[in-house]
Amino acid sequence: MKAKDVKVCVLRIEGTNCEDEMAEAFSMVGVSAEKVHLKQLIGQSPASLARDLEDFDVLALPGGFSAGDYVRAGAIFAARIKSALGPQVKKFVEAEKPVLGVCNGFQILVELGLLPAMEETMTPVPTAALYTNDSARFECRPTVLRNDNRGKCIFTSDVQKGKLLMIPSAHGEGKLMSMDPDFIDKLQDNDQIVFRYVCGNGEPAEYPWNPNGSPSDIAGICNPAGNVMGMMPHPERVMTRFTHPDWTRGYSSQDGDGKAIFTSVVRYLTK
Amino acid sequence: MWKIQACLSESFNYARVIHSIMAVIDIRIELKKGVADPEGTNTKKTLESLGFNGIENVKTVKFFEVTLDMPADEAKKHGEEMCKKLLANPVIQTYSVTVR
């Protein structure tokens, strides 16, 4: 497949607010991205706007406050996807097509049962939760992430293991929780941990470098197959050097640190 | 003619009201034991800053009141399904459903 033939579905409902940046980020790496409302996929739009999930190669769930974060962040968007599009989404994931969830998108993937999804592709009930930050505040600042994936996640194939990336966070509910006492060990064994928050110097993070109190400083995870990834920080906000906080202080690259995540997807689909 | 219609529609509505069985269920979503409650903690602090003394604990609870057109026992079952499918995340929350 050629990059220009790759079609990305940036899925939104009311309250999603990062779809423009997400679509633009994919456009910047040479693929075509379309912002699609959920209603367009489930036959609730005028026929001319109707789309089929199957026609897309990537599904991206952007950040925002879908459905006003009512009930729980991401819960309503997830329930609407599950009721109207559940089997199609499952099929999409099982076809090993990439699914990316950022911030609210990560919360949706967890509520949807697509992450961590250790036992099956899509669990009927959530097996994890993204819960209120320890600080009980909306935490909004640049964060430093370390790529800790050993190679399974397709979203970091362009990022060296151990590399630090400066990617901004902006969320109120980002603490990853599970009922399983061995949750972190299992994630580690399955190579499902993708990003950890670290301090600016690469040392293990403490607040505020870990903005939410997530155990083991987890910022992003993938499913066991590696084609579904959710992360709290926003890579689509650092596609060029100009949105990097240090761009006037010796930041040398022309690209922002978030770009590698998008080029990784293209590499996976065009290999 | 108009009068007859009005009369008919009135009796129809009346029939509907007496034949429908309404149940109101209270759904209470609580945080599981051991899950921190930052909203409760912050509220406690603020209440104390307003001069309320002797507060032992403040806990936030989410409450839904759902009115259903069905018998009570069926309504309770429906409420429990609602919790499983949307209202509660079993990782952090517990739920209870009571029929009024």
Q: Is A37 a catalytic residue?
A: no
* Substitution target from B80, B91, B95 for chain A, most A beta carbons within 10 A: B91
Domain locations along chain A: 3-270
Cβ contacts (< 8 Å) between B92 and chain A: which residues? 129, 131, 177
Cβ contacts (< 8 Å) between A75 and chain B: which residues? 86, 89
Interface contact B89-A136, CB threshold 8 A? no
In this structure, how many other beta carbons lie within 10 angstroms of the beta carbon of residue B72?
Answer: 15
- Per-residue pLDDT of A166-224, as tens digits, reads 999 999 999 999 999 999 999 999 999 999 999 999 999 999 999 999 999 999 999 99
Does the CB of A72 have a partner CB in chain B at under 8 Å? yes
How far is A196 from A239, CA to CA, in rounded Å? Answer: 20
DSSP, residue by residue, chain A: --GGG-EEEEEE-TTB--HHHHHHHHHHTT-EEEEEEHHHHTT-S-GGG---GGG-SEEEE--B-GGGG-SSTTHHHHHHHHHHHHHHHHHHHHTT--EEEETHHHHHHHHHT-SS-SSSSS-SS-S-EEEE-TTSS-EEEEEEEEE---S--GGGTTS-TT-EEEEEEEESEEEEE-S-TTHHHHHHHTT-EEEEEE-TTSSBP-TTTSSS--GGGEEEEE-TTSSEEEESS-GGG-SBGGGSTTTTTT---SB-TTHHHHHHHHHHHH-
Interface contact A177-B86, CB threshold 8 A? no
The pLDDT assigned to B18 comes to 47
A3-270, CATH topology level: Rossmann fold (3.40.50)
Does the CB of A191 have a partner CB in chain B at under 8 Å? no
Per-10-residue mean pLDDT of chain A, 271 residues long, equals 96 98 98 98 97 98 96 96 96 98 98 97 96 94 97 96 97 97 97 97 95 97 98 98 91 93 97 86
Low-confidence ranges of chain B (pLDDT < 70): 1-20
Interface contact A129-B38, CB threshold 8 A? no
Q: Is A236 a catalytic residue?
A: yes
Nearest C-alpha in A relative to B63: A71
The predicted model scores a pTM of 0.91
Domain locations along chain B: 21-99
B21-99, CATH topology level: Mth169; Chain: A , (3.30.1280)
Mean pLDDT of chain A: 96
Q: Is the ipTM of this complex over 0.95?
A: no
- Closest-CA distance of chain A to residue B23, Å: 22
